[in-house]
Amino acid sequence: MKVLIVHAHHEPRSFNSALKDCAVEQLSAAGHEVQVSDLHAMEWNPVASAADFGCRANPDYLVYALEQRHNYEAGTLAPDIAAEIAKVQWCDLLILNFPLYWFSMPAVLKGWIDRVMISGVFYGGKRIYDRGGMRGKRALVTLTLGGREHMFGPEAIHGEIHTLLRPLLQGSLAYCGFEVLPPFIGYHVPYVSAEARGQILADYGQHLQGLDDLQPLVFPSMNDFDDKLMPLQR
Amino acid sequence: MKVLIVHAHHEPRSFNSALKDCAVEQLSAAGHEVQVSDLHAMEWNPVASAADFGCRANPDYLVYALEQRHNYEAGTLAPDIAAEIAKVQWCDLLILNFPLYWFSMPAVLKGWIDRVMISGVFYGGKRIYDRGGMRGKRALVTLTLGGREHMFGPEAIHGEIHTLLRPLLQGSLAYCGFEVLPPFIGYHVPYVSAEARGQILADYGQHLQGLDDLQPLVFPSMNDFDDKLMPLQR
């Protein structure tokens, strides 16, 4: 299995980075090939702009998704973007490893999604969800946060964490055709004991060992919608 | 009323930018003071890192929220962050104006939230939701997207749009104490006729004129939770 880990923590000695290191070690030891895109170390540029394109289909008016397709075909995408696309195409499993910022991804990682998951290759028109470009690949979200587990749930103060993660789990990963594994979530990590953190690392090791036995999350299927994406009557 | 518009579109002639221009014109004409943070024009840096801090409480290990508080008190926050904080503190109404990217904010805007909405000033410990630092201010999200309105809803393919926006509407704006007005959403804008776009602009003008009559969105109240943020039994 070829694994791409996209990592988005600014502190290499953080617990979040320890989770990433755990995955690299364990997956490599199990014989898988592992690449890591450490966005902070790479000084990843997260801002989608005209600078991403070496030649413009429309030089006067920037339509970002149009230029993504045009420049991919022409081979004139910014090199940092092209390199990341190649890594995703190479991998069988994509792991996004990040601290939860405002119940979502830090901007540096959101910008990896904005710039790398291009129109045409990852999705297009009706080639979304189970018809998306990443069909056949799996995705895992591994995240840490300060909040405690009881703060999330149907009656809890912040609501359900999978619901908060829907733009990522459904709207980005499932949308592009990835089979989305249940996320691994390390709660309350800045505040728990070293022993508790050790246990979370051990649990993550188990999660990784058991990936093939995990039930993927369920998302909409294009078989249930018509050409206009209206629900088919049943 | 003092209004800060934070704008995140890379194309000044886009319809999304036209909505921002409409708000500037209309609110100014009505006698309000308006400032605009045009993130692309400002070349806004969205990446939260050690470079944001002139002096470190902990030079060896970066705990971002800790350094936000420490540097704010010491006056050593990066000048771009300090300037934005001052604008938010000045305003009565914050408008976030952006194109929906992956059912959420473009990275440049997420990075404005990550770097500007600092621990201590905007929120802290139990000073969240209706006890947050931005109590007394209102927030409006104005966004455009390619998707059509029928693609959103309880039975629709992408689910409800307010649910997809929860990390922003509840988890960021309400979390910091803003009174969150119903978002203004321009559906399918790259594909509709010029006439239809003109109608959306007119509708936005109406939305802005009637802000004081809008029913704010309802979010959790700290009165309903205990010290550990568990729901109080009723």
pLDDT at residue B14 in the model: 96
Residue with tokens 């990784």: A208
Residues of B in contact with A220 (CB under 8 A): 157-158
φ/ψ of B62, rounded to 5, equals: -85, 110
Distance CA A135, CA A141 (A): 17
For B47, nearest residue in chain A (alpha carbons):
A108
Contact B156 A231 (CB under 8 A): yes
Contact B62 A106 (CB under 8 A): no
pLDDT at residue B144 in the model: 98
Work out the pLDDT band at B233, boundaries 50, 70, 90: confident
pLDDT tens digit string along B91-140?
999 999 999 999 999 999 999 999 999 999 999 999 999 999 999 999 99
Whether ipTM > 0.85 holds is yes
Dig out the tokens for A58 from the structure: 């429309």
For B173, nearest residue in chain A (alpha carbons):
A102
Evaluate whether B8 touches B106 at the Cβ level (below 8 Å).
yes
pLDDT by residue, tens only, chain A of 234 residues: 999 999 999 999 999 999 999 999 999 999 999 999 999 999 999 999 999 999 999 999 999 999 999 999 999 999 999 999 999 999 999 999 999 999 999 999 999 999 999 999 999 999 999 999 999 999 999 999 999 999 999 999 999 999 999 999 999 999 999 999 999 999 999 999 999 999 999 999 999 999 999 999 999 999 999 999 999 986
Residues of B in contact with A101 (CB under 8 A): 48, 110, 114
pLDDT at residue B45 in the model: 98
User: Looking at residues B9-27, what average pLDDT do you find?
Assistant: 97
User: Structural domain boundaries of chain B?
Assistant: 2-224
Evaluate whether B135 touches B177 at the Cβ level (below 8 Å).
yes
pLDDT tens digit string along A199-210?
999 999 999 999
| CATH code that applies to domain A2-224 | 3.40.50.360
pLDDT at residue A189 in the model: 94
